[in-house]
Structure 1
Amino acid sequence: MSTGSSTSVFVSSLIFNLIIFSIFIIIFITLRNKYLNVYRPRTTNHILPNHLKAPPLTKSSFGWIVDLISRPKSFIIQQVGIDGYFFLRYLKLWAYVGFFGGLILWPILFAVNATGGGGKTGFDIISYSNNTHKWRVFAQLFCSWFFFGFVCYVIYVELVYYTGFRHNLQCTPFYSSLPSSKILLVDNVSEDLLYEDTLRKLFPSVQKIVITRDTSDAKEIWDKRNKLVKKLESAFVKVLNKCINIRSKVEKKESKGKEVEIPTPINDVNSYIKESKLPTYKYKPIIGKSKKVFNEGLEELSDFNQKLDKEQEKIKINSDDLTKLGSIFLEFPSHLELQRAYQAINKSENFKKSRKYNSFFPDEVIWKNAGVGFVARQSKRTGAKIFLTLMIIFWAIPVAVVGCISNINFLTEKVHFLRFINNMPSVLMGIITGILPSVLLSILMSLVPPIIRYFGKLGGCMTFQELDYWTQQWFFAFQVIQVFLVTTCTSAASSVVVSIINDPSKAMSLLAENLPPASNFYISYMLLQGLSISSGILAQIVGLILSFFMGKLLDKTPRQKWNRLINLSTPSWGTLYGSFGLFNVIMLCYSIIAPIIIAFTSIAFMLIYVAQLYTFVYVSGHTTDNRGRNYPLALFEVFVGIYLAEICLLALFVMQKNWACVVLEALWLILTVCLHLYYRIIFESVLDTVPISAIEGDYPIGDFGKKDISQVGENYFVNDSNSLGLIGGNNSGFGGSGGSGDSGGSDSFGDGEKLETSSSATLFKTKIDEKSDSNYYVQRTAKAQDHGYSGMATNFEDYVESGGSKSGLINGYNSISWRDTITRFFHPKKFVTQSYYKSMMPQYWNLNISNTLAKDVDYKSPEISDSSKPTLWIAKDTLGISEFLIKLCQNHGVACSDEDAVFNEKGKVVIEDDSYPPDYESSIMY
Structure 2
Amino acid sequence: MYSSPTDWVPETFEPTRRLLVPRASASQTGSHRSTGSSLSALLSTLIPIFVVASVLLVIFLLLRKRLDRVYGPRTYLGVLDKDERTPKQSAGFLGWTKEYRQLTDEFVLGHSSLDNYLFLRLFKIMMMFCFVGCIITWPVLFPVNATDGGGESGLDILSFSNVNSPARYYAHCFIAWIFLGFVMYVITRESLFYAYLRQAYFLSPYVTSLISAKTVLFVDVPEHYRDEENLRHIFPNTRHIWLVCDPEDLEDMIEEREDAANKLETGEIKLIQDYVKKKGSIFNIDEDDRPTHKLKPLIGMKVDTIDWSRSELLRLIPAVAKKQAEKRSRKSAKLSAVFIEFETMRDAQAAFQQVSHQMPFHLTPKDLGMKPEQVIWKNLRKPFWLVKLIAAISTAFVAFLCIFWTIPVAFIGVLTNVNYLTDRLPWLSFINDIPSAILGVVTGLLPVLLLTILMKLVPIICSALARQFEPTMGAVQLKTQSWYFAFEVIQVFLVTTFSSGASAVVTQIVNDPTGAPQLLAKNLPKASNFYISYFVLKGLLTAMLQLLNVMPLIFALFLGKILDKTPKKMYNRYVTLSGIGWGSFYPKYTNLGVIALAYSCIAPLVLGFATVGFGLLYLGFRYNILFTLGTQVDTQGRAYARALQQLTVGIYLSEFCLIGLFVIGSSGSTLSVGPLVLMIIFTLGTVIWHFQVRSALSRHTTTLPSDLLAEEYCRGPVDDDGEKGHVELHDANGNIKKLDSEESSRSAQYQVPRSADPPPPPSGLFGKIKAFIFPSEFASAAVLSKYILSPHLSEPVRPYTSVEREEAYLNPALTAATPVVWLARDQYGLSRREVDDSRSQVGEGLEITDEDAWFDQDAKIQWNERDLKRTPLWEDKPDY
Indicate the TM-score class for this superposition, using the shorter chain for normalisation.
0.7 to 0.9
- Correspondence for 2:815: 866
- Counterpart among 607, 610, 630 of residue 598 in structure 1: 607
Asked whether the 8 Å contact 1:83–1:628 carries over to 2, the reply is: yes
- Correspondence for 1:827: 774
Structure 2 residue 288 is the aligned partner of structure 1 residue 274: yes
Structure 2 CA distance for partners of 1:389 and 1:233, relative to 1, 3 Å: farther
Deviating more after overlay: 469-478 vs 5-14: 5-14
State the TM-score, normalized to the length of structure 2: 0.88
Structure 2 CA distance for partners of 1:312 and 1:26, relative to 1, 3 Å: same
Structure 2 CA distance for partners of 1:219 and 1:666, relative to 1, 3 Å: same
Letter in 2 for 1:908: K
State the SS of the aligned residue for 2:336: strand
Deviations 1:459-490 (Å, cap 9, x if unpaired)?
A: x1111111121121112112111111111111
- Counterpart among 169, 189, 194 of residue 226 in structure 2: 194
Counting only pairs closer than 5 Å after superposition, residues 56-75 of structure 1 correspond to structure 2 as: 56-61=88-93, 64-75=96-107
State the SS of the aligned residue for 1:411: helix
Letter in 2 for 1:111: P
- Correspondence for 1:722: none
State the SS of the aligned residue for 1:910: strand
- Correspondence for 2:345: 335
- Correspondence for 1:320: 331
Give the deviation of 1:579 after TM superposition: 1.3
Partners of 1:288 and 1:158 lie apart in 2 by 61
- Correspondence for 2:169: 137
Structure 2 CA distance for partners of 1:843 and 1:608, relative to 1, 3 Å: same
Give the deviation of 1:106 after TM superposition: 0.5
Structure 2 CA distance for partners of 1:598 and 1:925, relative to 1, 3 Å: farther
Asked whether the 8 Å contact 2:357–2:363 carries over to 1, the reply is: no
- Correspondence for 2:764: 817
Structure 2 CA distance for partners of 1:393 and 1:358, relative to 1, 3 Å: same
- Correspondence for 1:806: none
Cα RMSD (Å): 3.1
Structure 2 residue 450 is the aligned partner of structure 1 residue 440: yes
Letter in 1 for 2:161: S
Give the deviation of 1:861 after TM superposition: 4.0
Structure 2 residue 648 is the aligned partner of structure 1 residue 639: yes
- Correspondence for 1:709: none
Give the deviation of 1:697 after TM superposition: 5.5
Partners of 2:848 and 2:268 lie apart in 1 by 10
Asked whether the 8 Å contact 2:258–2:818 carries over to 1, the reply is: no
Deviations 1:517-567 (Å, cap 9, x if unpaired)?
A: 111111111111121111121122332211111111111111111122221
Give the deviation of 1:373 after TM superposition: 1.1
Asked whether the 8 Å contact 1:752–1:851 carries over to 2, the reply is: no
- Counterpart among 694, 698, 701 of residue 708 in structure 2: 694
Letter in 1 for 2:838: C
Structure 2 CA distance for partners of 1:695 and 1:150, relative to 1, 3 Å: same
Asked whether the 8 Å contact 1:873–1:917 carries over to 2, the reply is: no
Partners of 1:400 and 1:590 lie apart in 2 by 20
Structure 2 residue 366 is the aligned partner of structure 1 residue 356: yes
Structure 2 residue 181 is the aligned partner of structure 1 residue 149: yes
- Counterpart among 518, 523, 539 of residue 548 in structure 2: 539
Asked whether the 8 Å contact 1:765–1:778 carries over to 2, the reply is: no
Structure 2 CA distance for partners of 1:922 and 1:557, relative to 1, 3 Å: same
Deviations 1:591-650 (Å, cap 9, x if unpaired)?
A: 111110001111111111111111001111222332222111100001111112211222
Counting only pairs closer than 5 Å after superposition, residues 85-100 of structure 1 correspond to structure 2 as: 85-100=117-132
Partners of 1:40 and 1:551 lie apart in 2 by 18
State the SS of the aligned residue for 2:216: strand
State the SS of the aligned residue for 2:249: helix
Deviating more after overlay: 97-106 vs 853-862: 853-862
Counting only pairs closer than 5 Å after superposition, residues 196-595 of structure 1 correspond to structure 2 as: 196-245=228-277, 247-248=278-279, 265-266=283-284, 271-274=285-288, 278-282=291-295, 285=297, 291-317=303-329, 319-322=330-333, 324-345=334-355, 354-458=364-468, 460-595=469-604
Counting only pairs closer than 5 Å after superposition, residues 8-157 of structure 1 correspond to structure 2 as: 8-61=40-93, 64-157=96-189
Asked whether the 8 Å contact 1:38–1:547 carries over to 2, the reply is: yes
Asked whether the 8 Å contact 1:190–1:350 carries over to 2, the reply is: no
How many residues align structurally?
825
Partners of 1:394 and 1:817 lie apart in 2 by 53
Letter in 2 for 1:76: V
Deviating more after overlay: 372-381 vs 579-588: 372-381
Give the deviation of 1:289 after TM superposition: 6.5
Partners of 1:597 and 1:85 lie apart in 2 by 27
Structure 2 residue 846 is the aligned partner of structure 1 residue 897: no
Deviations 1:198-227 (Å, cap 9, x if unpaired)?
A: 211111111221222211221221222223
Give the deviation of 1:838 after TM superposition: 1.8
Partners of 2:801 and 2:172 lie apart in 1 by 59
Letter in 2 for 1:378: K
Structure 2 CA distance for partners of 1:20 and 1:79, relative to 1, 3 Å: farther
Give the deviation of 1:31 after TM superposition: 1.8
Deviations 1:496-527 (Å, cap 9, x if unpaired)?
A: 11111222222222122110111111111111
Partners of 2:649 and 2:624 lie apart in 1 by 29
Structure 2 CA distance for partners of 1:291 and 1:398, relative to 1, 3 Å: farther
Partners of 2:800 and 2:832 lie apart in 1 by 35
Deviations 1:773-792 (Å, cap 9, x if unpaired)?
A: 76645799xxxxxxxxxxxx
Partners of 1:661 and 1:287 lie apart in 2 by 77
Structure 2 CA distance for partners of 1:876 and 1:164, relative to 1, 3 Å: same
State the SS of the aligned residue for 2:788: coil
Letter in 1 for 2:859: G
Deviating more after overlay: 26-35 vs 219-228: 219-228
Structure 2 residue 847 is the aligned partner of structure 1 residue 847: no
State the SS of the aligned residue for 1:216: coil
Give the deviation of 1:752 after TM superposition: 7.8
Partners of 2:145 and 2:817 lie apart in 1 by 72
Asked whether the 8 Å contact 1:773–1:835 carries over to 2, the reply is: no
Structure 2 CA distance for partners of 1:853 and 1:420, relative to 1, 3 Å: farther
- Counterpart among 677, 683, 687 of residue 663 in structure 1: 677
% identity of equivalent residues? 33
- Correspondence for 2:876: 922
- Correspondence for 2:860: 908
Asked whether the 8 Å contact 2:478–2:635 carries over to 1, the reply is: no
Asked whether the 8 Å contact 1:58–1:64 carries over to 2, the reply is: yes
Structure 2 residue 204 is the aligned partner of structure 1 residue 165: no
Structure 2 CA distance for partners of 1:835 and 1:145, relative to 1, 3 Å: closer
Give the deviation of 1:864 after TM superposition: 4.2
Partners of 1:15 and 1:867 lie apart in 2 by 55
Partners of 2:571 and 2:242 lie apart in 1 by 35
Asked whether the 8 Å contact 2:206–2:793 carries over to 1, the reply is: yes
Deviations 1:289-348 (Å, cap 9, x if unpaired)?
A: 66542322221123221111111111233x3341x3211110123323322322324796
Give the deviation of 1:14 after TM superposition: 1.7
Partners of 1:234 and 1:441 lie apart in 2 by 42
Deviating more after overlay: 888-897 vs 414-423: 414-423
State the SS of the aligned residue for 1:622: coil
Relative contact order (C-alpha < 8 Å, sep 6+): which is higher? 1
Deviating more after overlay: 369-378 vs 820-829: 820-829
Asked whether the 8 Å contact 1:208–1:332 carries over to 2, the reply is: yes
Unaligned runs of 5+ in 2: 1-10, 18-36, 754-759
